[in-house]
Amino acid sequence: MSMVDITTKPEIFREAVAVGKLKLRAETVERIKKGTIAKGDPIYTAKIAGILAAKNTPTIIPLCHPLPLTNVKVEIEVIDEITIKVTSTVRTRAQTGVEMEALVATSVALLTIWDMVKQYEKNATGQYPFTAIETIQVIRKVKSED
């Protein structure tokens, strides 16, 4: 087992965008909008968590190359009464792409929101019948020598 050898590949501009969604109870989404989550602001916290996660991807995913990330942007929006969408854009000038960094940023941002609102999502037996992370995917990848 070894890392993929990228020694002879040129450094070029690379960008990846990953998106994911989190389904919550409508009451929880309303609390997020009103700023009444006991743990604090899940949107702001999730943005920071996503950025940190992207920067730490090689420590999370075995054999993933450490890359000099030049930009990480995590955007979070409420798209309807029960859905929050996270979009992570990661850029670098490197020998390999940043898809994993974008996916990890999105995943950790979604998990952070879940963690911060879980007390409102549990049912009477402590389960999460309404809460779900859905459709995490890379929606764009760019390689450019410019």
Known catalytic residues are 115
140 Cβ contact list (under 8 Å, min separation 6): 15, 16, 17
What share of residues in the chain are helix, strand, coil (percent, to 5)? 35, 35, 30
Residue 83 burial (C-beta neighbours within 10 Å; 0-12, 13-18, 19+): middle
